[in-house]
Amino acid sequence: MGTKILFILIAFLGIISCRPGSENESADKWKQEIIETEHAFAEMARTDGIARAFLAFAADDAVIMRNDSIISGMKDLVQYFENNPSDQGDVSLAWEPDFVDVSSAGDLGYTYGPYTVSYTDSSGIKHENSGVFHTVWKRQADRSWKFVWD
């Protein structure tokens, strides 16, 4: 009798753990986390400065590409932002993700969408450049999301 109850309990737990929709619910939750992180990143760039935001949301092994050059790792990112101050003068960067997806394991995701950078040059002329950004996000040990590619 005990074996029968144990078998029924194991079968019941197996069925419950495989209920339809649970995978989609997790993916939707992870996508929402990434979108919220992307929004916090953009807001920090707006309020606290571009360099500070990029350094705060970068993973230790993050890679960015600027002017056809790869900058890899936190040490090089810090050096890049020190040597290329993005917060001098009237510079702003704004972006909004149009798309987000996440791996089935919930450890990697990516976003893309439009961005606009605007600045005023030394003669007082305002310039605006637009494009499409692409960011790869990786879940960290503390469960936060940090970018590993921008």
* pLDDT band of 5, cuts 50, 70, 90: low
CA distances from 27 to 16, 55, 104, 122, 145 (A): 18, 27, 7, 47, 14
Task: Answer whether CATH 3.10.450.50 is correct for domain 24-149.
Answer: yes
- Residue, of 49 and 20, whose pLDDT is higher: 49
Give tens-digit pLDDT for 126-136: 999 999 999 99
pLDDT recorded at residue 77: 97
What is the residue type of 74? M
Q: What is the DSSP letter of 1?
A: -
Q: What is the pLDDT of residues 73-102, one digit of tens each?
A: 999 999 999 998 765 667 899 999 999 999
User: pTM score, two decimals?
Assistant: 0.81
pLDDT for the residue numbered 24: 75
